[in-house]
Amino acid sequence: MFSRLTYTLRETFAGFKRNVTLTAAAIITSAVSLLIFGLTLLIQHGFDNLLQRWEGGVEMIVFVSAGTQQDGLDFIASTLQDQVNTGTVASFEYCDVACSLADADRVLAGDPTTRQLLDETNIPTLFKIVPAESTEVEFLRGLKESYQQLPSVNSVTLAEEQLDLIGKLQGFVSTYTTGLWIALMFASGLLIWNTIRTAMFARRREIEVMKLVGATDWFIRVPFMLEGLIQGLLGGVAAVGSMLFINWRWTQGVQDFPDSSGMTALVVIDGYQWTVAIIILAFGALVGMIGSGIAASRFLDV
Amino acid sequence: MIRLENVTKSYSTEVVALRDASFDIAKGEFVFLVGPSGSGKSTMLRLLNREERPERGAVWVAGRNIIDMPPSRVPHLRRNIGNIFQDYKLLSNKTVFENVAFAQEVIGKPKHVIRQQVPAVLDLVGLAGKEDRFPHQLSGGEQQRVSVARAFVNRPLILIADEPTGNLDPTTGEGIMRLLDRINKTGTTVVMATHDQRIVNTMRKRVIQLDRGVIVRDQARGVYE
Ligand SMILES: Nc1ncnc2c1ncn2[C@@H]1O[C@H](COP(=O)(O)OP(=O)(O)OP(=O)(O)O)[C@@H](O)[C@H]1O
Ligand SMILES: [Mg+2]
């Protein structure tokens, strides 16, 4: 058993030396494909964080037409209270004339001309509504439409443009990066397949002798498969290192952004990057095994 | 030890290499396969270690019909058969010792067994002291001795030799024949294809003659003709 192990390791190592350029190409390709694969997963996760934050913290504002009487306000309030009871709305708050004027003072501080146009008689009062946690974007839209149907409601605002943008960006980024890593991973599988085929061709005399003296197919195959496996794993290790480095640089860089920009949510520091690292290594090993396994079975009859 | 029953082997519809061949070889026999070029000698030998499979008939080796042996058993069949070729088939990047040890290594023999048995068999074939040479540093006869050592190191039941003296001058060839004779005397069955008239005539062993895939003569203590 021990001599079998040393034989296998010796042959695997000899295979690397024999075939340096092709091996390097296979490792680099698998590293790049696995890196893009890992970054795709991280970006997805970052966007998920961001979306969750927007959706969780989002406020809807229902502007009430100026001059609405108390019974009109009561009706809106009771509708919202019903929704609080059924769990679609987390909480709401009425902002009366004084509150709205104070808001206007703050929001329009840089725009005194507009501020001067507003006074107690014409400022719209408003309801600030916090929808329940983790609601879908689509659901928020439905909610917005239903508020617009209510009497005395002037308009409803929702941060849906930002949500839309983020959703689109996420879809865009993940579609193209997914295409990239699949293509590259296929290429690295082919390259590994090719290195193994070349290695087996270089050793066809030895394989012929091995078969004649009664070595089993698995005995002949294993060093080659191990060679492919190690190539995939080395690519995986390089990819994990690069990914962790990029993620670290990104996390550092993002700290300079203002907290309110939302960019700070676009980082992965919750340990998910370690899950991705393991997935990358497993994928690298798998691609190496498949590429070399197919080659080793197919070219055993040399 | 070896029995062929009505074996027919063709490579294509035109090329029928063996036609309805039958014979029986007992344990410890020494048999020459003779016949003109293309008569099917090599094909016959390749059937014995299942490098080829016939269309019809049965091939019995060591009590088993190897025609329908599952592929996973074939390596174990081959461990009982040693092979010697006209072109030696040595690995040029390995030394004499490594070439012989290779045959043990790849079937999982432990190191201490290899260290003990390889020098013994190299001694038997007369190559003691040349363990560390590479094949290109040996004469043709010496290279063939390495190949005999490799075929015999695992003590096979059967030794198959396909024109082992084909590349050697007569004297060197005789040396190889004496070696095969000695191996045969240890109880190993030897089947050898040859064109060498002198060798067949001096050894006076059983002769099976082929002509265009048909066995035309099977004679104890025969001559080449
Ligand atoms: N792999 C193959 N594919 C197709 N035809 C083959 C193959 N091997 C041998 N043959 C054909 O089968 C016939 C028998 O060949 P074989 O090699 O058994 O002859 P042989 O008696 O060993 O000849 P020689 O004395 O020249 O070595 C020949 O006609 C040959 O052309
Ligand atoms: Mg021949």
pLDDT digits (tens, 9 = 90+) for B50-71: 999 999 999 999 999 999 899 9
Mean pLDDT (whole number) for A92-104: 82
Do residues B79 and B154 lie in contact, with contact meaning Cβ atoms separated by under 8 Å? Answer: yes
Query: Could you tell me the CATH number of the domain that includes residue A67?
Result: 3.30.70.3040
Residue B198: φ, ψ to 5°: -60, -45
| pLDDT > 90 in chain B, percent | 94
Confidence of residue A55 (pLDDT cuts 50, 70, 90): low
Contacts A215 to B, Cβ<8 Å: 75, 106-107
Mean pLDDT (whole number) for B120-146: 96
Q: Among A129, A158, A187, which residue terminates a domain?
A: A158
Q: How many angstroms separate the Cα of B161 from the Cα of each of A182, A298, B84, B145, B152?
A: 52, 29, 5, 12, 12
Model confidence at B77: pLDDT above 60: yes
Mean pLDDT (whole number) for B92-121: 94
Model confidence at A134: pLDDT above 60: no
A112/B14: higher pLDDT: B14
Report the gap between the CA of B108 and the closest CA in chain A (Å): 6
Mean pLDDT (whole number) for A49-64: 69
Tokens 């006869």 -> residue: B141
CA B98 remoteness from chain centre: 21
pLDDT value at residue B150: 97
CA A106 remoteness from chain centre: 37
- Best mutation target among A212, A216, A222, A224 (most B Cβ atoms within 10 Å) is A212
Same domain, A153 and A252: no
Residue numbers of A between 199 and 258 with CB closer than 8 Å to B: 205-206, 208-217, 219-220
Q: Which ligand is nearest to the CA of B39?
A: 1
B196/A51: higher pLDDT: B196
For ligand 1, atom 18, name the residue with the nearest CA: B40
CA A221 remoteness from chain centre: 38
Model confidence at A178: pLDDT above 90: no
Whole-number Å distance, alpha carbon A3 to ligand 1 midpoint, is 39
Count: domains in chain A: 2
A5-14, A224-233, B106-115, B146-155: least confidently modelled range: A5-14
Mean pLDDT (whole number) for A250-265: 69
DSSP B158: E
Contacts A216 to B, Cβ<8 Å: 72, 75
Closest among A116, A124, A121 to A94, alpha carbons compared: A124
Q: In what order do the strands lie in the sheet with B158-162?
A: B81-85, B158-162, B189-193, B30-34, B206-211, B214-219
Pairing of strands B56-61, A126-131: unpaired
Q: Among A128, A158, A188, which residue terminates a domain?
A: A158
**Residue of B103, B110, B150 with shortest CB distance to A3:** B110
pLDDT value at residue A141: 75
Do residues A195 and A228 lie in contact, with contact meaning Cβ atoms separated by under 8 Å? Answer: yes
DSSP B123: H
E strand or H helix that includes residue B12: none
* Segments forming the whole domain that contains residue A80: 59-158
pLDDT, tens only, A64-90: 887 788 888 888 888 888 888 887 788
Mutation choice for ligand 1 from B9, B32, B42, CB with most ligand atoms inside 8 A: B42
pTM over 0.90: no
Same domain, A291 and A258: yes
Same domain, A16 and A66: no
CA A18 remoteness from chain centre: 40
pLDDT value at residue A72: 84
| pLDDT > 70 in chain A, percent | 87
**Residue of B76, B91, B109 with shortest CB distance to A206:** B91
Same domain, A173 and A256: yes
Model confidence at A107: pLDDT above 70: no
Same domain, A182 and A209: yes
Contacts B157 to A, Cβ<8 Å: none
Of ligand 1's listed atoms, the one at least distance from the Cα of B163 is 27
Tokens 């206007």 -> residue: A104
Do residues B214 and B20 lie in contact, with contact meaning Cβ atoms separated by under 8 Å? Answer: yes
pLDDT, tens only, A18-39: 788 888 888 998 899 899 888 8
DSSP string computed for chain A? -HHHHHHHHHHHHHHHHHTHHHHHHHHHHHHHHHHHHHHHHHHHHHHHHHHHHHHHH--EEEEEPTT--HHHHHHHHHHHHHHHHHTSEEEEEEE-HHHHHHHHHHHTTT-HHHHHH--TTTPPPEEEEEEPTT--HHHHHHHHHHHHHSTTEEEEE-THHHHHHHHHHHHHHHHHHHHHHHHHHHHHHHHHHHHHHHHHHHTHHHHHHHHHTT--HHHHHHHHHHHHHHHHHHHHHHHHHHHHHHHHHHHHHHTTS-GGGSGGGS---SSHHHHHHHHHHHHHHHHHHHHHHHHHHHTS--
pLDDT, tens only, B169-184: 999 999 999 999 999 9
A285/A140: higher pLDDT: A285
Q: Tell the burial category of A48 from Cβ atoms under 10 Å away from its Cβ (0-12, 13-18, 19+).
A: middle
Q: In what order do the strands lie in the sheet with A126-131?
A: A89-95, A126-131, A60-64, A153-157
Tokens 């996760």 -> residue: A45
Tokens 């390749």 -> residue: B46
Mean pLDDT in chain A?
Answer: 81
Same domain, A182 and A233: yes
ipTM score here?
Answer: 0.90
Model confidence at B147: pLDDT above 70: yes
List B41's β-bridge partners, or say none: none
DSSP string computed for A120-151? TTTPPPEEEEEEPTT--HHHHHHHHHHHHHST
Same domain, A171 and A293: yes
Closest among A272, A263, A253, A256 to A50, alpha carbons compared: A263
Same domain, A95 and A215: no
Residue A60: φ, ψ to 5°: -105, 140
Confidence of residue A97 (pLDDT cuts 50, 70, 90): confident
Q: Among A126, A158, A190, which residue terminates a domain?
A: A158
Same domain, A86 and A120: yes
- Best mutation target among A5, A208, A213, A221 (most B Cβ atoms within 10 Å) is A213
Same domain, A294 and A178: yes
Model confidence at A105: pLDDT above 80: no
Same domain, A32 and A114: no
Same domain, A236 and A290: yes
| pLDDT > 90 in chain A, percent | 15
A12/A77: higher pLDDT: A77
